[in-house]
Amino acid sequence: MDYRFSQKMSTMKPSVIREILKLSSDPSVISFSAGNPASETFPTEKIAAITADALAVDPVKCLQYSVSEGYPPLREELVRWLGQDYGIDFSHNSLLVTSGAQQGIDLVTKCLVDEGDTILVEKPTFLGALNTFRSYNANLVGVEMEDDGVDLASLEQAIRSSHNPRFFYVIPTFQNPSGIVTSLAKRQGILEICRRYGVLVLEDNPYGDLRISGQPVPTIKSLDETGRDVIYLGSFSKLLAPALRVGYTVADDALMAKLVVAKQTTDVHSNSLAQIICAEFLTRWDVHDHIALLQEVYRKKAGVMCSALDTYLGGKVTYQKPQGGLFIWCTLPAQIDMPTFCKEAVKAGVAVVPGNAFYVNEEETCHSFRVNYSTPTDQQIVDGVQILAKIVENSL
């Protein structure tokens, strides 16, 4: 039988990162392409203990259907933690537990965007979000970035010139892929501009706990005194383990009612056992101690990567030293063809992601590539950068 696919599928493409991961499945290939957290940060013993206790005490609660909004004790813990550490006011907002933050992106788009409506994004931005937006046949508009976040004048111009702009998707803290931290002034500016034009802000914060230097900057959601202008996304993927697939969305009560209905048509509710694991972790142990452990691991790994880049690619690559997160955005001289460079890198045993994969228009020229320092070992980081340096030297 010949399949006739929907028009929505015509805009969807395989993830460039996932395709590169296929090429790098050979254990001899050093992967700088993944966005995986370091496996040594997984609290495996604590998760095992929580799981054993939960199944022994109340297996039905772990295995039966649950409420769509999320496991109540987890929601209570998240409201307390997000209010205390991230300044989020829940007086007019509700929290929905999702199957990863990725589902939050999908549900928000499903509820707010009709075909042809505009979604504004940073340039570059998270590939997973771009693919979700494309699946709804949205008109995507990329907004230029500066060293301290999106260019505000460009954001306002993009809003003014776009058809029915619905929201601005932004990763203000340790942005994926650039690693940029949006300044407080820029966060305030984003909120003010979007509010003035009636455009929502979709704030994605998967890396906020992974700060390795500098001072924390308030979330945009915490600046939203009305509670209606910013939708906030978070996740346990980088905090505990990505396979749990537990994320959360914070939104105004009226919007949340629609998000819950949208979730019911998608998966009814998120994994109950995984939610119990997250709730018990937050209850039994001090999450700040765990975060400190994560930060120490990533501080060391980022240091190894930056040292290797400076030693072997100094003068040939430019990058911002990361304040946190999992990535470094590297820019090469313009005469180096980026697609060719990335292909040569994989052939030589190192997988990196070409920068244009994170653009609205993947055909646009980009002289940057993204590397990840959380997944490879320290020795792999050094060896991999040396291989990249040889390719750059040959290209020049």
Q: What is the pLDDT of residue 15?
A: 56
Q: Is 129 contained in some domain?
A: yes
Q: Is the pLDDT confidence value at 31 over 60?
A: yes
Give the chain's mean pLDDT: 94
CATH code, domain with 37: 3.90.1150.10
Are residues 129 and 115 both part of a single domain? yes
Quick one: pLDDT band at residue 293, thresholds 50, 70, 90?
very high
Q: Is 127 contained in some domain?
A: yes
338: CB partners within 8 A, 6+ apart: 332, 354, 355, 356, 365, 366, 367, 368, 369
Q: Residues 245-268: what's their mean pLDDT?
A: 97
Does 177 sit behind a cis peptide bond, omega within 30 degrees of 0 on the bond before it? yes
Are residues 115 and 175 both part of a single domain? yes
Q: What is the pLDDT of residue 25?
A: 63
In residues, how long is the chain?
A: 396
Q: Is 222 contained in some domain?
A: yes
Are residues 187 and 222 both part of a single domain? yes
CA distance 275 to 247: 9
Are residues 304 and 234 both part of a single domain? no
Are residues 262 and 171 both part of a single domain? yes
CA distance 180 to 201: 18
pLDDT digits (tens, 9 = 90+) for 208-233: 999 999 999 999 999 999 999 999 99
Contact in structure between 307 and 277 (CB atoms under 8 Å) = no
Residue in the block written with tokens 């599928």: 9
Report percent pLDDT > 70 for the chain.
95
Q: What is the pLDDT of residue 9?
A: 66
Q: What is the pLDDT of residue 10?
A: 64
Q: DSSP H helical segments within the chain, as ranges? A: 16-23, 44-57, 59-63, 72-86, 100-112, 127-135, 152-161, 184-196, 220-223, 253-264, 272-284, 287-313, 338-348, 378-395
Backbone angles phi, psi at 291, to 5 degrees: -60, -40
Half-sphere exposure for 383 (CA within 13 Å, toward CB): 13
Give strand pairing partners of 350.
30
Look up residue 6 and give its two tokens.
């929907």
Closest CA to 82 of 64, 94, 70: 94
Q: Which of 19-23, 219-223, 273-277, 384-388 has the least mean pLDDT?
A: 19-23
Q: Residues 29-57: what's their mean pLDDT?
A: 96
Q: Is 2 contained in some domain?
A: no
Q: What is the pLDDT of residue 24?
A: 55
pLDDT digits (tens, 9 = 90+) for 55-97: 999 999 999 999 999 999 999 999 999 999 999 999 999 999 9
CA distance 330 to 319: 5
Q: Which domain holds residue 345?
A: 7-43+289-395
Q: What is the pLDDT of residue 396?
A: 81
Quick one: pLDDT band at residue 270, thresholds 50, 70, 90?
very high
pTM summary value: 0.94
Look at residues 238, 267, 284 and tell me which one is the last residue of a structural domain: 284
Are residues 130 and 227 both part of a single domain? yes
Give the total number of structural domains in the chain.
2
Q: Is 334 contained in some domain?
A: yes
Q: What is the pLDDT of residue 160?
A: 98
The number of beta carbons lying within 10 Å of the beta carbon of residue 253 is 13
Are residues 72 and 197 both part of a single domain? yes
CA distance 386 to 305: 11
Backbone angles phi, psi at 370, to 5 degrees: -105, 135
pLDDT digits (tens, 9 = 90+) for 3-25: 777 776 666 666 555 556 566 56
Q: Is 163 contained in some domain?
A: yes
Q: What is the pLDDT of residue 27?
A: 79
CATH code, domain with 56: 3.40.640.10
Q: What is the pLDDT of residue 17?
A: 54
